[in-house]
Amino acid sequence: IKVHLDSAQVQMPGHLKGMKLWSLNPQTGLWEEEGDFQHDRSRRSKREERTFLVGNMEIRERRLFNLDVPESRRCYIKVRTYRSERYLPSEQVAGVVVSV
């Protein structure tokens, strides 16, 4: 499938060069890179000329797809653990190791 993205829709101009196609692997829960975009100047009508980012992807199975720029920033989370599913403040447990 050929994907056309109007470059005017990208809010951060620095992201135009780094934009990639991604798909979510249902087995691993990780986003996998499907491909890059190429710049393409085209006319959609006689008066209008726009620049598009064009990418190709192969659909092998039913997956979620995303257009995004890879970032190496960290994500911080706050985790609380409880003794039961009632989530009462009095049942909060300290000293628990949680792996994400």
Decide if pLDDT at 16 tops 80. no
Q: Indicate whether this model's pTM tops 0.75.
A: no
Q: What is the mean pLDDT of residues 19-28?
A: 84
Q: Exposed/middle/buried for 53, CB within 10 Å: 0-12, 13-18, 19+?
A: buried
For residue range 40-84, what is the model confidence (pLDDT) as tens digits? 766 555 666 666 566 666 677 777 877 777 777 777 888 899 999
The structural domains of the chain, with segments of one domain joined by +, span: 2-72
